[in-house]
């Protein structure tokens, strides 16, 4: 039976830090200790800033700890479309930012002495049909126009036939949690401070600075960076301009060596994979089966599909680990980075579209430059206040019509829900209990646990995630544990607990 845990969180021996208490000051406060927040903190410190990092859980145990560990500018078939929709200048800006991010990661690994197992390797997009191979040719032309290290090939080393592949050379993969632990140690060694288990609830900005605060502490600083997957205080409407997605991962032990390099399919269903070498064993990490957060597709069958595909294509010895992770996608495929609209001192970075190790590192570099240089703008296309072109506007409208439908439709649906007595062991759903509509879950021992069914962010009705035994918001991606505690924002307040029976 696979353990429900990311391979990057096994036997963790990295540093831990105390929770915050009382008030403190810094030049810059960073909320969020994934790769974006920690990289920004280290770069800012090296530029001369006194930095405090505040993390709701543990370092890198959010989305960063659920990635494939790829650090690459190859993000699927994106560059041809990006040129068509946003123009060559913006596409080049995106490509160059992510190529520089690879160099920054390599440099930071060397400087921090990280034992993250960084390896330089090629990243491939592979085609299974003639139509997909034609798409690769378009992408190859676009990549060459942008100066990316791309070439078309036929032999990938994969254990199944392909009709072609697009290779990006000199990319990288690593252990993302060990990398972040090394960044944290470097930050603290240089005088920076980190607070774990310290959730931020509010951000207040005035002419003299900005203050972030939670139940137990606060930090006053000249600037704040919100690196929390999506900003929890959203003056920029980012939860309206992005959509939350979940992806699934498995760690499989193989009887033979995995193929060299990193791979992703050109067509659907998406299959993304890379070698996994840990403790002398050989294996592969496979990611895919993505869907919007709160969708009914959130079932254990998602992992089952990945395992079925792995068995069809590799000599699998065992499936040891399974996990999932969340990220947000923007309408035009480019992250929002820079000053949050209507603010002067609050910076944001969100919408990495599941490529957060490179995009997050690129964002950290841009935010550092913005904080330290003042008026320097972020590169073309990334501005956090943008709307985008016509295609992006159409997508935004469609996404928010869907959210409005969920908000209204699910509330109407509450009127006809089943009785809680119908929930079997291990099942959850929106049910009636003693005449009240609740989010109900019956644990394996038969006890019924009931919570408010309403997301504390903007009031959408929650959906039960059977894959992970959580309550997920289909509107903006907030997620809650069975005890009602917040797992993912933008919500900052837990669900009201209605008791257990």
pLDDT in tens, 398-433: 545 555 555 454 554 544 577 877 888 888 889 888
CA distance 199 to 382: 27
Across 44-48, 201-205, 403-407, 472-476, least confident range: 403-407
Residue 455 is predicted with a pLDDT of: 93
Give yes or no: residues 133 and 85 share one domain.
yes
Report strand pairing: 463-465 vs 470-472: antiparallel
Band of the pLDDT at 235, cuts 50, 70, 90? Answer: confident
Query: Is-contact 202 235, C-beta < 8 A?
Result: no
Band of the pLDDT at 283, cuts 50, 70, 90? Answer: very high
Residue 276 maps to a domain: yes
Candidates 411, 398, 17; CA nearest to 188 is: 17
What is the token pair recorded at 423? Answer: 């929930």
Q: Map residue 169 onto helix, strand or coil.
A: strand
Residue 16 maps to a domain: yes
Report strand pairing: 346-350 vs 271-278: unpaired
Band of the pLDDT at 381, cuts 50, 70, 90? Answer: very high
In DSSP terms, which residues pair with 193 in a beta bridge? 52
Residue 150 is predicted with a pLDDT of: 98
Residue 291 maps to a domain: yes
What is the token pair recorded at 179? Answer: 């990398």
- Residues of the chain with pLDDT > 70: what percent? 92
CA distance 410 to 408: 6
Helix H or strand E encompassing 450: strand 448-451
Tell me: pLDDT of 389 over 60: no
What is the token pair recorded at 5? Answer: 């845990």
Averaged pLDDT for residues 126-133: 97
Give yes or no: residues 439 and 376 share one domain.
no
Give yes or no: residues 247 and 305 share one domain.
yes
Tell me: pLDDT of 203 over 50: yes
Candidates 202, 476, 243, 477; CA nearest to 346 is: 202
Give yes or no: residues 487 and 355 share one domain.
no
Mark which of 373, 388, 403 sits at the end of a domain. Answer: 388
Give yes or no: residues 86 and 204 share one domain.
yes
How far is CA 313 from each of CA 202, 354, 417, rounded to the nearest angstrom? 49, 24, 43
DSSP letter string, 258-310: PPSSEEEESSSSPEEEEEEEETTEEEEEEEEEEEETT-TT-STHHHHHHHHHH
Report strand pairing: 164-173 vs 150-153: antiparallel
CA distance 199 to 489: 10
Give yes or no: residues 384 and 429 share one domain.
no
Residue 402 maps to a domain: no
**Burial annotation 195-234 (CB, 10 A radius, 16+ → b, else e):** bbebbbeebebeeebbbbbbeebbbbbbbbbbbbbbbbbb
Give yes or no: residues 213 and 77 share one domain.
yes
Tokens 């990334």, residue? 382
Averaged pLDDT for residues 225-235: 86
Candidates 462, 439, 442, 464; CA nearest to 452 is: 439
CA distance 70 to 249: 13
Averaged pLDDT for residues 365-369: 97
Domain that holds residue 335: 3-388
Give yes or no: residues 352 and 417 share one domain.
no
What is the token pair recorded at 280? Answer: 């002398």
Give yes or no: residues 239 and 360 share one domain.
yes
In DSSP terms, which residues pair with 263 in a beta bridge? 124, 273
Candidates 229, 346, 291; CA nearest to 468 is: 291
Residue 462 is predicted with a pLDDT of: 93
Residue 14 is predicted with a pLDDT of: 77
Residue 399 maps to a domain: no
Tell me: pLDDT of 32 over 80: yes
Residue 494 is predicted with a pLDDT of: 92
Residue 419 is predicted with a pLDDT of: 81
Band of the pLDDT at 33, cuts 50, 70, 90? Answer: very high
Residue 85 maps to a domain: yes
CA distance 267 to 288: 12
Computed over every residue of the chain, the mean pLDDT equals 90
Give yes or no: residues 253 and 380 share one domain.
yes
Query: Is-contact 236 383, C-beta < 8 A?
Result: no
More confident residue, 108 or 492: 108
Band of the pLDDT at 176, cuts 50, 70, 90? Answer: very high
CATH number assigned to the domain comprising residue 445: 2.102.10.10
Residue 501 is predicted with a pLDDT of: 44
Band of the pLDDT at 391, cuts 50, 70, 90? Answer: low
CA distance 201 to 89: 38
Band of the pLDDT at 434, cuts 50, 70, 90? Answer: confident
More confident residue, 128 or 215: 128
Band of the pLDDT at 284, cuts 50, 70, 90? Answer: very high
CA distance 318 to 279: 15
Residue 407 maps to a domain: no
Mark which of 388, 423, 457 sits at the end of a domain. Answer: 388
Averaged pLDDT for residues 368-385: 88
Tokens 């930012």, residue? 97
Tell me: pLDDT of 384 over 70: yes
DSSP letter string, 207-228: TTEEEEE-SSEEEEESEEEE-S
Cβ-Cβ contacts under 8 Å for 154 (sequence gap 6 or more):
162, 164, 165
Rounded to two decimals, what is the model's pTM? 0.91
CATH number assigned to the domain comprising residue 141: 3.50.50.60
> Tens digit of pLDDT for each residue in 103-115?
999 999 999 989 9
What is the token pair recorded at 39? Answer: 């990289």
Tell me: pLDDT of 478 over 60: yes
- What is the total count of domains within the chain? 2
What is the token pair recorded at 106? Answer: 């390599």
> Tens digit of pLDDT for each residue in 315-326?
999 999 999 999
Residue 31 maps to a domain: yes
Query: Is-contact 476 484, C-beta < 8 A?
Result: no
Band of the pLDDT at 500, cuts 50, 70, 90? Answer: very low
Residue 390 is predicted with a pLDDT of: 57
Give yes or no: residues 82 and 155 share one domain.
yes
Q: Helix and strand tally (H, E) in the chain?
A: 9, 28
Give yes or no: residues 422 and 335 share one domain.
no
CA distance 353 to 131: 24
Helix H or strand E encompassing 481: none
CA distance 477 to 241: 13
Residue 388 is predicted with a pLDDT of: 57
Residue 412 is predicted with a pLDDT of: 44
Residue 248 is predicted with a pLDDT of: 96
């Amino acid at each position: 039976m696979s353990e429900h845990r990311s391979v990057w969180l096994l036997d963790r021996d990295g540093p831990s830090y105390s929770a915050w208490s009382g008030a403190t000051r810094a030049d810059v406060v960073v909320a969020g200790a994934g790769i974006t927040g920690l990289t920004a903190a280290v770069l800012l410190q090296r530029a001369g800033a006194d930095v405090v990092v505040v993390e709701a859980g543990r370092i890198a145990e959010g989305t960063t700890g659920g990635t494939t560990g790829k650090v690459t500018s190859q993000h699927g078939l994106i560059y041809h479309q990006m040129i068509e929709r946003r123009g060559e200048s913006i596409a080049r800006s995106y490509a160059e930012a992510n190529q520089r991010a690879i160099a920054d990661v390599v440099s930071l690994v060397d400087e921090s002495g990280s034992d993250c197992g960084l390896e330089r390797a090629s990243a491939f997009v592979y085609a299974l049909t003639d139509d997909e191979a034609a798409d690769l040719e378009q992408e190859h032309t676009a990549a060459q126009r942008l100066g990316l290290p791309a070439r078309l090939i036929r032999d990938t080393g994969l254990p199944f036939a392909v009709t072609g592949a697009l290779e990006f050379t000199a990319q990288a993969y690593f252990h993302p949690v060990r990398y972040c632990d090394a960044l944290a140690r470097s930050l603290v060694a240089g005088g920076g401070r980190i607070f774990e288990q310290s959730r931020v609830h509010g951000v207040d900005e005035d002419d003299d600075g900005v203050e972030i605060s939670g139940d137990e502490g606060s930090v006053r600083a000249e600037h704040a960076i919100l690196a929390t997957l999506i900003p929890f205080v959203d003056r920029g409407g980012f939860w309206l301009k992005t959509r939350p997605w979940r992806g699934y991962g498995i760690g499989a032990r193989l009887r033979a060596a995995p193929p060299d390099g990193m791979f992703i399919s050109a067509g659907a269903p998406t299959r993304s994979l890379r070698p996994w070498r840990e403790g002398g064993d050989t294996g592969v990490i496979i990611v895919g089966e993505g869907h919007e957060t709160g969708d009914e597709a959130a079932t254990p069958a998602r992992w089952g599909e990945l395992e079925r595909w792995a068995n069809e294509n590799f000599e699998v010895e065992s499936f040891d680990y399974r996990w999932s992770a969340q990220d947000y996608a923007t309408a035009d495929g480019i992250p929002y980075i820079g000053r949050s609209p209507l603010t002067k001192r609050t910076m944001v970075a969100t919408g990495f579209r599941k490529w957060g190790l490179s995009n997050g590192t690129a964002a950290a570099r841009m935010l550092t430059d913005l904080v330290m240089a003042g008026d320097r703008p972020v590169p073309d296309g990334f501005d956090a206040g943008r709307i985008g072109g016509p295609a992006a506007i159409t997508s935004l409208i469609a996404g928010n019509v869907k959210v409005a439908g969920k908000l209204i439709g699910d509330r109407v649906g509450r009127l006809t829900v089943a009785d809680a007595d119908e929930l079997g062991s291990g099942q959850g759903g929106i049910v009636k209990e003693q005449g009240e509509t609740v989010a109900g879950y019956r644990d394996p021992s038969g006890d019924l646990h009931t919570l408010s069914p309403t997301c504390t962010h903007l009031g959408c009705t929650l959906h039960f995630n059977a894959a992970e035994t959580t309550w997920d918001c289909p509107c903006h991606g907030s997620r809650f544990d069975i005890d009602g505690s917040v797992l993912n924002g933008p919500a900052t307040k837990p669900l009201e607990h209605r008791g257990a029976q």
